[in-house]
Amino acid sequence: MASRANSVLKIISQEARVPIEELRQNAELEFTDLGVDRLLSESILNQVLKATGLKLPSNLFETCPTVGSLTEFLRNIDLHPSSGPEKPLEPANAISGLREYSKELLGESPLSIRLHGCSNSPKKTVFLLPDGSGSAMSYARIPSLGPDVCVYGLNSPFLFHPGSFLPIPDIAPIWAAEIRLLQPKGPYILGGWSAGGYYCFEVAKYLLQNQREDDGRPVKVEKLILIDSPSRNVFEALPMAVVTTLSNQGLMGNWGTNEAPKWLLDHFEATIARVEEYQPSPMTVPVRGQTLPKVFVIWATDGVYGPAGAAGSGLDTTVKVTQFMLENRLDMGPNGWDKLFPKGTEMAIATSPGTHFTLIFPPHIVIVGAGPAGLLLTLLLSTEGIEVNVLEAAADVDRRPRAAYYGTASIPDLQRAGVLAEIRRRGFPPTSFTSRQFGGDYRAFGLLDTNLLGNIDGQDLRSACLPQKDLLEILVKRVENSPLVTLSWNHKVLGVGQDEEKGWVVVETPEGQSRIEADYIVGCDGAHSAVRKSLFGNEFPGKTWDVQLVSTDTYYDLEKKFGFTHANFAGDRMYLVMLILENQPQIAAKLNDEGLFRITYAEPGDMSYEEVEKRLPSRLEEILPGNPKPDEYKMLGWAPHKIHQRCAPSMRVGRVMLVSDAAHLCNPLGGLGVTGGFVDAGGLADCLLGIWGGAADDSILDLYSEKRREKWYSITDVVTTDNFMKTACRYPIEKLSKRPDWTRSDEARKEFLLQRLGLRYDFTRHYRNEASNVGV
C-alpha cells in the first residue's frame, strides 16, 4: 500500500500544484487549504483511475480531510476486497436487503475498514463501532495489538445521509451482518468509544439473541470494551451546544486549531437525536447457560476543561453528561452499565489518564535532537500511532566519526523499531573482541567470541556494527516516511517551559522565533543539551577525565597482516582498534582489500585541536603495528572527544524527559554510551505508550528516571570507569596483568557477555493489571 499511497500523493501534488515533499512531511495538512474543491477532487480521482486503475470513493476528501488520514486510508484499507460467497446470517433475503441498504447509503465508502493486522487467519479479531462522528477513522491512530490481532473499524451507514439515521437498536443488524461477513464464526470481540459504546452493546445483544453458528449453537461474544461511554440509563444525551462549543475551540479530537468539518457535525447532530430517544433494554440470553461476554468499562480520568474551565465555559454543567464531559471524573464505577447485563456477567473497570478525546487521539511529543537515540524513540512512538515533532539545530545529521558498535542491550529495541535487519545488512555483527597483552607486543590476552549470543531463546543478541552516519541515514529515511512525524532541520531550541496542561519549546527557526507546544518534551540533544540546561542550568554532576580521545576512521590492513580481530584493546598504548566496515567487493578493488577500522587513542585533555591534528601521523605511526607512514593508510576522518562521567539530577521534570547524552555521559571504552541511549529510548517509549494505552499513569515517568539513573550508576559508570582505568594503565601492574575471569571457558564468556543485558529494565511490568486485562 505504500507505493499506492505514493502514487496518489504524486497525482495530488501535480493537480494541486504543491511540492510532494510538503505533502509527505505534513500529515495535518488539510486538502481544503490546498484548494481541493469538488471540481479538483473529481479531476484527482479521474487521474488516479487512469494512472493506477483504482476507483476511489467520490467523497474521498470528505472522509479523509488531511494528508495523514488519506495516507492511513490508502495504506490500511483493501480498496477492492474479495467478493467471495456470502454466508447467510439470517434468511438470505433479509441480510441481502440490509447490505444493499447500507451500500446505497455509503456509496463507494466501505462499511468496515481494516486498521491493523492481517485478515488472513488472525488469532483474534476486534471490531470497533463508531463514535458520534460515524467514522471508523476515529480509531485510525490506536496502536497495533500485535501481528496476530486484526482490528476493524466500522463506519456508520448514515455517514453521509444523517437524515436517514435509524433508531440505534435497528442499526445493530446492519453492523452484525458486516461483522459476520468478515468473521463468520465466533467468539466475537466488540468495542466502542463514546456513542460507540451504545452501538457495541446493541450489536452484542443482537448477536446473542438472534444469531446461531452453523451447528445451531448460540453465537458467543467473548468481550465487550466500552470506552468512556456514559451509560444512557444514567446519563442524558450530550447537548449539541457542547459539541458545537468543543468543535469551535478545536477540541473535538485531533482537528488542531480548526473546527470539525461540517459532515462530522451533521452526523453528530443526528446521533444526538437518536441517543435522546434511546432507552436501552437490559441484555438477556435466550439459552440457559449461554456464555456471557466479559465486559470492560474504561473511563478517562480528566474532563476536557477541568472544574474551573467548565464553570467559565457558559455551558450548563448541571446536566450530568455535560459535567461528565467537561469536569474531572469523580465516579470511576460502572455508572449504570452493570444494570444492563445479566446477573453473573464479569465486569472490570479501568481508568486511563487523559480526557474523553485523548483516550483515542494519541499525545503529541516533541523530541529535541535528531541523533541516534532521538530518532529511535521517534520510530518506536510513531509506529504505535503517536505524533512526533523532531527538532534538530543542525542542517543535517552529524557525519563525524562517532559510535559504530551497538551493544547487546540495545538489540531488542533496534529489532522492534524495525531497523536491525538493515543495520546488519549494511554493516555486520562484530563477533571477536580481543584484549592484547600488557607490554606492547600485540599478543592476544583474551578473545571474546560473541557468536555465543547468536541464539539466546531464539534471539540473535550479537552486537551490531555500522558507522553512525550510516545508521542515521537509515533512521532518518524511516522517520521521513512516517505520516506521523515532522522532522525539522535548522530548528534550535532556546528554552523549555511547561504548565499543568502542556509543555512547550521556544525555537529559533529560519523563519524566526516560534513556540511549539506538546504533551511531552523529550531532550535527546546531546552533551550540551539545551533541554537539560533549561531544567538544571549548569548542574551536571560528575567529572571530566584528564585525557581526550581521538577517533579516526582509517583503512589499514590490520586484519590480514597483523591478525587483529573486530575489536582490540591494548592498555599500555592507550588505544583501541575496531573494524567498522567489512570488506565489500567494490571497496576491496579500490582500496587494496583493506578493512576500515575505527582507531582511537588518547591525548592530554588540555591539548589544542591544532596540536592534536598536527600529531595525528606520528601518533598512528607510534601505536599501530608496522609503524605505518601516512602513505601506507588512508584516513577518512577524525574527531577529538572530551570524555566525561556525568549524570543529570533527574531524567524527568514534569512533562520534560531526558534521554541518552542529554541525561548522562560516559567514556566510550565499553560501548555503553550510544547503547545506553538506545535502552533509554526503548524504556521511555514503553512508559509513554503505557500512559496512552491506559496501562499506566504518568508516575511511571518518575520510575523511568529512577531506574535509568540507577542503571547508569550501577552498570554504565562502573564498567566504563573500570575499562578506562585499565586502558589508561591507572591500575597497579599486577591487576593489569591478571587474566580476566571470562577467559576460563565458553560458559564464562557467555555469562560475561549476557551481563550487559542488565542495562535493560522492563517498564511494562509496572503496567496496571486491570488495564492489561482489557488487552485482547
Q: DSSP secondary structure string, 163-195?
A: GGPPPHHHHHHHHHHHHHHHS-SS-EEEEEETT
Residues 494 and 324: their CA atoms lie apart, in Å, by: 39
Say if 588 falls within a structural domain: no
**Which residue's C-alpha cell is 572527544?**
641
pLDDT at 478: 93
- Do 200 and 287 lie in one domain? The reply is yes
Sheet architecture: strand order including 512-518: 492-498, 503-509, 512-518
- Do 119 and 64 lie in one domain? The reply is no
Say if 124 falls within a structural domain: yes
CATH number for the domain that contains residue 70 = 1.10.1200.10
CATH number for the domain that contains residue 119 = 3.40.50.1820
Residues 105 and 530: their CA atoms lie apart, in Å, by: 55
Say if 324 falls within a structural domain: yes
Say if 358 falls within a structural domain: no
- Do 128 and 258 lie in one domain? The reply is yes
- Do 26 and 109 lie in one domain? The reply is no
The string of DSSP codes covering 56-98 is --TTHHHH--BHHHHHHHHHH--SS----PPPPSSSHHHHHHH
Q: What DSSP character marks residue 33?
A: G
Q: What DSSP character marks residue 362?
A: P
pLDDT at 99: 54
pLDDT for 63-121, tens place per residue? 778 887 787 777 654 443 433 333 333 433 444 455 555 566 666 678 998 888 776 77
pLDDT at 305: 81
Domain boundary among 304, 327, 352: 352
- Do 65 and 110 lie in one domain? The reply is no
* Closest C-alpha to 630, from 619, 639, 638, 643: 619
* Closest C-alpha to 688, from 330, 471, 367, 325: 367
Q: Torsion-angle region of residue 216: left (phi > 0), alpha (psi -120 to 50) or beta? A: left
Q: Torsion-angle region of residue 605: left (phi > 0), alpha (psi -120 to 50) or beta? A: alpha
* Closest C-alpha to 177, from 97, 106, 101, 99: 99
* Closest C-alpha to 369, from 470, 463, 464, 479: 479
The three-class DSSP label of residue 743 is helix
Say if 15 falls within a structural domain: yes
Residues 420 and 422: their CA atoms lie apart, in Å, by: 5
pLDDT at 31: 84
**Do you find a cis peptide bond into 147, omega within 30 degrees of 0?**
no
The three-class DSSP label of residue 595 is coil
Which residues of the chain fall below pLDDT 50?
Answer: 1, 77-96, 254-258, 436-440, 442, 445, 566, 568-594, 770-776
Q: With contact defined as beta carbons under 8 Å apart, do 265 and 244 qualify? A: yes
Percent of the chain with pLDDT over 70: 81
- Do 66 and 191 lie in one domain? The reply is no
Residues 445 and 737: their CA atoms lie apart, in Å, by: 9
Name 124's Cβ contacts closer than 8 Å, sequence gap at least 6.
Answer: 145, 148, 149, 150, 189, 776
Domain boundary among 75, 110, 128: 75
Rg (CA), the chain: 30
Say if 140 falls within a structural domain: yes
CATH number for the domain that contains residue 369 = 3.50.50.60
Domain boundary among 323, 352, 381: 352
pLDDT at 115: 86
- Do 136 and 229 lie in one domain? The reply is yes
- A 10 A CB-CB count for 280 gives 18
- Do 186 and 66 lie in one domain? The reply is no
Say if 773 falls within a structural domain: no
- Do 277 and 386 lie in one domain? The reply is no
Sheet architecture: strand order including 634-647: 444-449, 432-436, 567-570, 575-581, 596-604, 542-555, 634-647, 664-665
Residues 173 and 185: their CA atoms lie apart, in Å, by: 16
pLDDT for 404-445, tens place per residue? 789 899 999 999 999 999 999 888 776 655 554 444 454 554
Say if 177 falls within a structural domain: yes
Q: With contact defined as beta carbons under 8 Å apart, do 115 and 76 qualify? A: yes
Four-CA torsion 27, 33, 37, 41, nearest 10 degrees: -30
Residues 265 and 359: their CA atoms lie apart, in Å, by: 20
- Do 677 and 723 lie in one domain? The reply is yes
List the grid coordinates of 274: 437518536
pLDDT for 673-704, tens place per residue? 999 999 999 999 999 998 887 778 899 999 99
CA angle 209, 211, 212 (to 5 degrees): 120
List the grid coordinates of 46: 479521474
**Which residue's C-alpha cell is 577524525?**
638
Surface-to-core class of residue 150, CB atoms within 10 Å of its CB (0-12 exposed, 13-18 middle, 19+ buried): buried
CA angle 708, 721, 686 (to 5 degrees): 15
Residues 418 and 407: their CA atoms lie apart, in Å, by: 17
> What is the sign, positive or negative, of the torsion defined by CA atoms of 763, 766, 769, 774?
negative
Name 100's Cβ contacts closer than 8 Å, sequence gap at least 6.
Answer: none
Domains identified in the chain, total number: 3
- Do 289 and 317 lie in one domain? The reply is yes
Residues 671 and 265: their CA atoms lie apart, in Å, by: 55
Helix or strand (DSSP H, E) at 303: none
Domain extent, residue 179, equals 99-352
- Do 178 and 143 lie in one domain? The reply is yes
